[in-house]
Amino acid sequence: MIKLVAMPSVLKEDARHNGIADDAVDVLKRILRAAVRDGMFAKVPDVLTPTWSSVRHDDAHTPEDDVATPTQADALYAAVLEQWRIAVLFAAWCRLRRREVLGLQRHDIVWNSNQSAAILHVRRQ
């Protein structure tokens, strides 16, 4: 885990965090909890969780930096693997947070009769 935390950011060279360590720890913990639930482990093993100090914006930060533009969302959609593209759309256009997107399941999307529109139910995070 220490090596993962120490990796530099691919997208922003001067970033303090690489943006992947937290997600990797979250996925690992979910896998371990599922293993406990399935009887493979008696309890969830301790997992080193990276600690971060609060993020402070530098002088060059503007409020426009906080939200992706439609052009940036389209570029991210084009850049990610095909199986993750729907997550970009949910995050960008439905304003879902990362854990809400990751918690979605097929039955959370209820299509109308001709599948021209749907209702999205966010039931878990």
Kindly state whether residue 97 falls inside one of the protein's structural domains.
Answer: yes
CA distance 4 to 16: 13
| CA 17 distance to own-chain centroid | 15
CA distance 16 to 19: 9
- Give the sign of the dihedral formed by CA 8, CA 14, CA 16, CA 17: negative
Q: Which domain holds residue 8?
A: 1-54
CA distance 15 to 35: 34
pTM over 0.85: no
Phi, psi of 63 (to 5 degrees): -55, -25
**125 shares a domain with 80:** yes
109 versus 7: the higher-pLDDT residue is: 109
The structure tokens listed for 99 are 């854990």
**76 shares a domain with 36:** no
**85 shares a domain with 120:** yes
**120 shares a domain with 70:** yes
> How many domains is the chain partitioned into structurally?
2
**70 shares a domain with 35:** no
**80 shares a domain with 42:** no
Q: Where does 16-120 show beta strands of DSSP type E? A: 109-111, 118-120
pLDDT in tens, 16-72: 666 667 777 778 888 888 999 999 989 988 877 666 555 666 777 777 777 788 888
**123 shares a domain with 87:** yes
